[in-house]
Structure 1
Amino acid sequence: MTGELLPENVLIASATHAEARHVPSGARLLVTGIGKVRATMTLSRELASGPPVRQVINIGTAGALRDEVVGDGRDLFVPSAVLEHDISSAELRAMGYDMTDRWELPDGDGTVLASGDTFVADPVRRAELARHAHLVDMEGCAVAHVSAKFGVTCRLVKAVTDNADEGAMEWPDLVDAAARRLGEWVETHVYG
């Protein structure tokens, strides 16, 4: 795809309407639904049949896997990589299947996002994932995978709402503040 990166060829993808509530009006917005399957299906359909897209920006919330992430003073993260945490890549590779389970992303801040369909609220699982990533969500790897298959640049922008522990169940009360920060990011970085 050629041409200048303009707001009209940037697609903002979000899992839920709640996370996208404060995206500027007029933005090209796609609400995919929660989880990898829904994100893959909805984004693939849009990229295959919709107007041309040069960049997909996935905005949404994430859980912090490491305590220092929450305490570092940042409101938003733009991961440099995303990995799929709930697929048996090592076993499938051992059987001879070529598996991609990590995508490098441009213009990131050095953080790594673990992405999978499992809602993480268990301290044991959190500690396990924290060995490989800083944040966790449920759609980022699907958006990165589909974007790569379509040859479209992908960026992920995540607002931390919880520590990927029992506090994650309070997400409905925290999402609007996160959505405001995400909307401001889109306004500044896409339309600014």
Structure 2
Amino acid sequence: MVAATKVEAAYVPEHLEVVLTGIGKVEAAAVTAAAIARSRPELVLNVGTAGALRPGLTGLFLPSTVVNHDYSADAIRALGHDAVDEIEIAGGDGTVLATGDLFVTDPVVRDALAARAQLVDMEGFAVARACRLAGVPCRLVKIVSDAADDSALEWAAVVDACARLIGHWVRDEIG
């Protein structure tokens, strides 16, 4: 079980090991890779909050695809190098999650991202990439906390309710 912050994993059953990565792609990738090397899990489950990029999206999602939205993959490919900016996740619900180090509060940025994805977070792609490189299956469990606009600044006020729903899902699905 991997989460960016302690509060997002506050209601995960105590018998499950929770690794806290910190916020952002670099922290998530580094800490996830170290945890995988240390314990060689059969599965990594990344739980956390996400912003909704489209009106009316609420609830819990299991993304099937995660994209690295603030990475210049096309430019890197044009220079003749490989660039991974999209990962398919088995067992998802069809949702696309965009991950980046940008904390999205600008409706213009949100609307541009909505052309590629339904949700946005700051760790999902990094966790999935670390898992892919280590050969460990990964699942993403994201709950909408805001509308990726000014409401994102109220994250601290809503994260406990989001964490409770994540905890219920984990108990029901994982045990």
**Fold conserved between structures, TM > 0.5:** yes
Say if 2:30 is the partner of 1:46: no
Say if 2:24 is the partner of 1:35: yes
5+ unaligned residues in a row in structure 2: which ranges?
A: none
Q: Give 1:24's aligned residue.
A: 13
What is the letter of the counterpart of residue 172 of structure 2?
T
Give the TM-score normalised by structure 2.
0.98
Kindly report which structure 2 residues correspond to 1:43-82, keeping only aligned pairs within 5 A, or say none. Answer: 43-50=32-39, 52-70=40-58, 75-82=59-66
Percent sequence identity is 49
Q: Give 1:128's aligned residue.
A: 112
Question: Which protein shows a greater Rg?
Answer: 1
SS of aligned partner of 2:160: helix
Cα root mean square deviation, aligned: 0.7
SS of aligned partner of 1:69: coil
Cα distance in structure 2, aligned partners of 1:143 and 1:133: 18
Q: Give 2:89's aligned residue.
A: 105
Q: Give 1:146's aligned residue.
A: 130
SS of aligned partner of 1:82: strand
SS of aligned partner of 1:68: coil
What is the letter of the counterpart of residue 35 of structure 1?
G
Q: Give 1:6's aligned residue.
A: none
After superposition, what is the alpha-carbon deviation per residue over 1:119-153, rounded to whole angstroms, capped at 9, x for unaligned? 00001100100000000000000000000000011
Question: What is the Cα deviation at residue 21 of structure 1?
Answer: 0.5
SS of aligned partner of 1:160: strand
Kindly report which structure 2 residues correspond to 1:162-173, keeping only aligned pairs within 5 A, or say none. Answer: 162-173=146-157
5+ unaligned residues in a row in structure 1: which ranges?
A: 1-11
Question: What is the Cα deviation at residue 154 of structure 1?
Answer: 0.6
What is the letter of the counterpart of residue 47 of structure 1?
I
Cα distance in structure 2, aligned partners of 1:91 and 1:48: 32
- Aligned counterpart in structure 2 of residue 115 of structure 1, from 96, 99, 103: 99
Runs ≥4 residues deviating over 6 A: none
What is the letter of the counterpart of residue 31 of structure 1?
L
Cα distance in structure 2, aligned partners of 1:178 and 1:68: 16
Question: What is the Cα deviation at residue 68 of structure 1?
Answer: 3.5
Cα distance in structure 1, aligned partners of 2:31 and 2:68: 18
What is the letter of the counterpart of residue 17 of structure 2?
R
Cα distance in structure 2, aligned partners of 1:165 and 1:95: 34
